[in-house]
């Protein structure tokens, strides 16, 4: 525990030592200094014995997932939505009932050898929960994309993945994956677990 955390704990114990009433602490800001994350606890109460009687109802966090930036684009000939990269652009996240998961993804996408349509979206397991469609303006060209959605908390684990598909199995969909932004950049996916309301 940091010195700030110890000071806060001492202050609470000093107040409680002189009272047997329950004290509502309300919204408490917590900082995970090791992982450099901002956390929030809510509905927290303590009693005269310095015993926690309330529950932490939600921990907020934001994580960003990114393509490998190797210079080798992601490609697929699948005409149904498939995960782009299960190692770097996918994760299993439990969403508590009083929270929501906000998901957004960005990048550049096109097709290989002809001007055909493509789709890019977000999967929750095998279910497609968000999708945008487009078509490159030139053979081998690509367009920027942005897609996002919200999942209401249900206490269950959700496997979230950036996904794509082509409309023609003979012409692969291609998602840029290059550290050089002039060559299309790389895909990112941001997930924000936050309090509902």
For the stretch 123-143, pLDDT in tens is 999 999 999 999 988 887 889
Task: Decide: 86 and 78 in contact? Cβ < 8 Å.
Answer: no
- Residue 51 forms part of a structural domain: no
Instruction: Count CB atoms within 10 A of the CB of residue 76.
Output: 20
Domain that holds residue 191: 62-195
- Residue 38 forms part of a structural domain: yes
Specify whether 33 is located in the same domain as 78: no
**CA–CA separation, 64 vs 50, rounded Å?**
37
Calculate ∠ Cα 12-197-30, nearest 5°: 30
pTM over 0.75: no
Specify whether 32 is located in the same domain as 73: no
Tens place of pLDDT for every residue, the chain, 197 residues? 444 444 444 544 554 444 444 444 444 444 445 444 444 444 444 444 444 333 344 567 899 999 999 999 999 999 999 999 999 999 999 999 989 999 999 999 999 888 899 999 999 999 999 999 999 888 878 899 999 999 999 999 999 999 999 999 999 999 999 988 766 799 999 999 998 86
Spacing of C-alpha 105 from chain mean position? 9
Specify whether 148 is located in the same domain as 71: yes
Specify whether 106 is located in the same domain as 154: yes
CATH number at residue 78: 2.60.120.760
């Amino acid at each position: 525990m940091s010195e700030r955390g110890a000071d806060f704990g001492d202050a609470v114990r000093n107040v409680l030592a002189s009272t047997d009433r329950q004290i509502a602490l309300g919204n408490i800001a917590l900082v995970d200094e090791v992982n450099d994350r901002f956390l929030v606890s809510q509905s927290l109460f303590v009693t005269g014995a310095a015993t926690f009687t309330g529950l932490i109802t939600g921990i907020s966090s934001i994580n960003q997932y990114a393509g490998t930036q190797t210079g080798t684009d992601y490609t697929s000939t699948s005409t149904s939505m498939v995960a782009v990269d299960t190692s770097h652009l996918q994760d299993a996240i439990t969403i508590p009932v009083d929270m929501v998961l906000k998901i957004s993804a960005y990048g550049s996408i096109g097709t290989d050898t002809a001007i055909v349509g493509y789709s890019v979206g977000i999967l929750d397991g095998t279910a497609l929960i968000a999708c945008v469609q487009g078509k490159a303006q030139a053979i081998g060209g690509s367009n920027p994309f942005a897609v996002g959605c919200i999942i209401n908390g249900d206490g269950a684990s959700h496997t979230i993945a950036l996904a794509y598909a082509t409309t023609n199995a003979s012409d692969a969909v291609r998602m840029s994956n290059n550290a050089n932004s002039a060559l299309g950049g790389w895909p990112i996916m941001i997930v924000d677990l936050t309090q509902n309301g």
